Amino acid sequence: MSENWTEREVPSQRGRVAVITGANTGLGFDTAKVLAERGATVVLAVRDVEKGKQSAARLGADADVTVQELDLASLESVRAAAADLHTTLPKIDLLINNAGVMYPPRQTTRDGFELQFGTNHLGHFALTGLLLDLLLPVEGSRVVTVASIAHRIRAGIHFDDLQWEDSYDRVAAYGQAKLANLMFAYELQRRLAPHGTTASIAAHPGVARTELMRNSPAAMRAVFPLVAPLFTQSSERGALPILRAATDPTALGGQYYGPAGPGGYRGRPQVVASSPQSYDGAIQRRLWAVSEELTAVKFPVG
Q: How many CB atoms lie within 10 A of CB 276?
A: 8
Please tell me the pTM assigned to this model. Answer: 0.93
Q: Which of 174, 186, 256, 257 is catalytic?
A: 174
CA distance 112 to 116: 12
Beta-carbon contacts of 30 under 8 Å, excluding residues fewer than 6 positions away, are 235, 236, 238, 239
Nearest alpha carbon to residue 186 among 251, 253, 119, 130: 253
Q: What does the longest C-alpha to C-alpha distance in the chain come to?
A: 51
User: Is 174 one of the annotated active-site residues of the chain?
Assistant: yes
Q: Distance between terminal CA atoms of the chain?
A: 31
Can you give the pLDDT of all 302 residues of the chain as single tens digits?
567 899 999 999 999 999 999 999 999 999 999 999 999 999 999 999 999 999 999 999 999 999 999 999 999 999 999 999 999 999 999 999 999 999 999 999 999 999 999 999 999 999 999 999 999 999 999 999 999 999 999 999 999 999 999 999 999 999 999 999 999 999 999 999 999 999 999 999 988 666 655 555 555 555 555 555 556 788 899 999 999 999 999 999 999 999 987 777 888 999 999 999 999 999 999 999 999 999 999 999 98
Helices (runs of H) and strands (runs of E) counted in the chain: 10, 8
Q: Exposed/middle/buried for 44, CB within 10 Å: 0-12, 13-18, 19+?
A: buried
